[in-house]
Structure 1
């Protein structure tokens, strides 16, 4: 299963799809990119005259790439065309270090900690284009084909 096939199985679409490409994919981890579009609606109010990406959106980007895409890859043999995966975020604990501005491209790197009984727990990090750590945390969720 390749990047395009995994992204096609995601249950998200614009404006709530935060995955542009997946660059490394294995059963042990995954990495990918997303560029935050300057015209996205939440920048108009977060914050006045100094727009930055809300932490909840950064967490969502980390979860989509680092948890959901990895879960789809791990369960790839259970997915068929037109499968609509069932996904539930069960926990997230994220520490934030740097802001993400409109138009900025980020890289998400995820390492599987455990996958058991369709529950996936990952250590996920997000970096900016300079390679600086933006945020990191543990994200867990349930996924079923």
Structure 2
């Protein structure tokens, strides 16, 4: 692979990829049937994510399609607590937190698919991370655009292919597995 083709692989906005992440009327109807409205901001996210500041790492869900993909973003600011130590003179968002942001977005899709929320006593926990790659630093002022595609669902286990972009360039990618945990006491 040439250096030029490597650079092209890191660019997010190819025509085919843009089309792949576009919502259809059918997608919108599926969300309406589940009482989900987009864009999803902080108050709505609190229903799906048990995380709170400083560990809620998704600021907005922007699109969701056919129960199989979801997009959102995290605005990265200098006020993030982790920047105090990572690294004070050259702040960089820790890669593990980028992976966590992708996992949180994936969890929202799993909640939507199952028609349940964290408020109702359900939780999705990490079950595994594969193929994690970090390609560019994420720094204060960046908007981390998150994309997650469902690869597999078997009962309570979900597997996703996730990507994080800054300025249309791939910053990180990973395959993540999460598993639903029922804390409601229902059988």
When normalised by structure 2's length, the TM-score is 0.70
**Which runs of 5 or more residues in structure 2 are unaligned?**
1-35, 183-187
For residue 12 of structure 1, the aligned residue among 44, 51, 54 is: 51
Note if contact 2:47-2:119 (Cα within 8 Å) is conserved in structure 1: no
Q: 2:91 maps to what in 1?
A: 51
**1:137 equivalent in alignment to 2:174:** yes
Q: 2:72 maps to what in 1?
A: 32
Give a deviation string over 1:16-59, Cα, whole Å, max 9, x none: 00111111112011010111221112111112411100111111
**Equivalent residues in 2 for 1:1-145, closer than 5 Å:** 1-2=36-37, 3-4=40-41, 5-26=44-65, 27-65=67-105, 67-76=106-115, 79=116, 82-93=119-130, 94-128=132-166, 130-144=167-181
Alpha-carbon shift at residue 69 of structure 1 (Å): 0.8
Aligned length: 141
Max Rg structure: 2
Change in Cα spacing, 1:137 to 1:46, as seen in structure 2 (3 Å) is same
Alpha-carbon shift at residue 82 of structure 1 (Å): 3.2
Higher helix share goes to which structure?
A: 2
**Which runs of 5 or more residues in structure 1 are unaligned?**
none
Distance 1:41 1:18 in 2: 12
* Alignment RMSD (CA, Å): 1.7
Greater shift in the superposed pair: 32-41 or 130-139: 32-41
Misfit runs of 4+, over 2 Å: 2-9, 79-82
Structure possessing the higher relative contact order (Cα contacts under 8 Å, 6 or more residues apart): 1
Q: 2:26 maps to what in 1?
A: none
Note if contact 1:106-1:127 (Cα within 8 Å) is conserved in structure 2: yes
Alpha-carbon shift at residue 8 of structure 1 (Å): 2.3
